Amino acid sequence: MRVKCVLCDKLEKIEDGSPLAKRLRNRPIHTYMCADCNKRIADRTEERKASGNFSTFRQAVQEDTW
Ligand SMILES: [Zn+2]
């Protein structure tokens, strides 16, 4: 089936029998993102997670010092 990336409008073809195609067919609301955009989102999420971990870590260190 053909899918269109919701972020960059790139058209891609995915296997009809793939788990992704099944998911998109069961939930039309579920939007498709191409690999590039997926990676971009994942990178951003990782960055946020990393900075979140960092502040948690600093807080823990400060609590130890006090
Ligand atoms: Zn895309």
User: 4-53: per-residue pLDDT in tens?
Assistant: 998 999 999 999 999 989 888 887 666 788 989 999 999 998 888 888 76
Q: Which residues contact 10 (CB under 8 A, 6 or more apart)?
A: 4, 34, 36
Q: Using the mean position of ligand 1's atoms as its centre, give its distance from the Cα of residue 62 in Å.
A: 42
Please report, for the chain, the start and end positions of each structural domain, with discontinuous segments joined by +.
2-48
Q: What pTM does this model have?
A: 0.57
Residue that wins the pLDDT comparison between 57 and 46: 46
CA distance 40 to 35: 9
At residue 32, the pLDDT reads 87
In the predicted structure, residue 66 carries a pLDDT above the cut 80: no
Q: Using the mean position of ligand 1's atoms as its centre, give its distance from the Cα of residue 26 in Å.
A: 21
How sure is the predictor about 58, in pLDDT bands with cuts at 50, 70 and 90?
A: low
At residue 5, the pLDDT reads 92
Contacts 24+ apart (CB under 8 A), 21-25: 25/1
Q: Using the mean position of ligand 1's atoms as its centre, give its distance from the Cα of residue 63 in Å.
A: 43
CA distance 33 to 46: 17
Q: What protein residues have CB closer than 5 angstroms to ion ligand 1?
A: 5, 7-8, 10, 34, 37
